[in-house]
Chain A
Amino acid sequence: DQQVKQNSPSLSVQEGRISILNCDYTNSMFDYFLWYKKYPAEGPTFLISISSIKDKNEDGRFTVFLNKSAKHLSLHIVPSQPGDSAVYFCAARGYSGGSNYKLTFGKGTLLTVNP
């Protein structure tokens, strides 16, 4: 049972355009969401997060939007740069079962930014 879903395995965009990565979740106990970026042969690197009490969080070129009613979040990167090419993982954390530390990850989306 996949509680965090990233339905697009890959996404290709042109440099300078906007990249939009999507994530859906099913567990209503999740209350904190994170995006990680991962290059090949490296560990995931934290990018940006959002608490469920907010609907938007912005950090430079990266903005995360949360739609609680739809159980959907998205990561916007604008403008996209070739160095942004990586796998992006959506992750969620909540108080399900009393644990607020366990991250549940999606399968990831491979973003390719073409020069």
Chain B
Amino acid sequence: NAGVMQNPRHLVRRRGQEARLRCSPMKGHSHVYWYRQLPEEGLKFMVYLQKENIIDESGMPKERFSAEFPKEGPSILRIQQVVRGDSAAYFCASSLSTGNTEAFFGQGTRLTVV
């Protein structure tokens, strides 16, 4: 049973380009969460999705960032017109349900904006 799979592991983008980060949850998990870790910081919640629905995007910047979790395929975190401040590690987690259920994290995508 594969864990949470994220790709790419490393992504380099020039300022102004688009970044697309992918996350395949654990088998059977229909709840996906995205977190961002800036240097020297803890992980910060960005968005919570279920299949075809955004449940909570309160942690996501209002502009340039979007997320989706289609009926088929992985969840995508999309960052348009990237800036240097977007450089961070982006982690995806999935869970079987909400509430007192542990979320399992992927290995993360390290985005570097040059």
Residues on A close to B: CB < 8 A? 4, 6, 32, 34, 36, 41-46, 49, 51, 89, 91, 99-108
B22 at the interface (CB under 8 A from A): no
Instruction: Return chain B residues, CB-CB under 8 Å to A51.
Output: 100
Q: A104 contacts which chain B residues (CB < 8 A)?
A: 45
Which residue, B42, B48, B91, has most C-beta atoms of chain A within 10 A?
B42
> Is the interface on chain B under 10, 10 to 19, 20 to 34, or 35 or more residues?
20 to 34
Q: Is the CB of A101 within 8 A of B99?
A: yes
In the assembled complex, how far is the CB of residue B2 from the closest CB belonging to chain A, in whole angstroms? 13
Q: How far is the CA of A99 from the CA of B55 in the complex (A)?
A: 10
- A43 pairs with B99, CB closer than 8 A: no
Measured between beta carbons, the chain B residues less than 8 angstroms from A89 are 42-43
Interface assignment of B25: CB less than 8 Å from any CB of chain A: no
Q: Are B43 and A103 in contact (CB under 8 A)?
A: yes
User: Chain B interface (Cβ within 8 Å of chain A)?
Assistant: 4, 6, 31, 33, 35, 40-45, 48, 56, 59, 91, 93, 95, 98-100, 102-108, 110
The reply to whether A100 and B102 contact each other, CB–CB distance below 8 Å, is: no
| A32 close to B105 (CB less than 8 A) | no
Which are the 3 A-B pairs with shortest beta-carbon distances? A105-B42, A43-B105, A101-B98
Contact residue among A45, A100, A103 (Cβ-Cβ distance under 8 Å from B99): A100
18 contacts between A and B (CB under 8 A): A41-B107, A41-B108, A43-B107, A44-B43, A46-B103, A46-B104, A49-B102, A89-B42, A91-B43, A99-B56, A101-B56, A101-B98, A101-B103, A103-B43, A104-B45, A105-B42, A105-B43, A107-B40
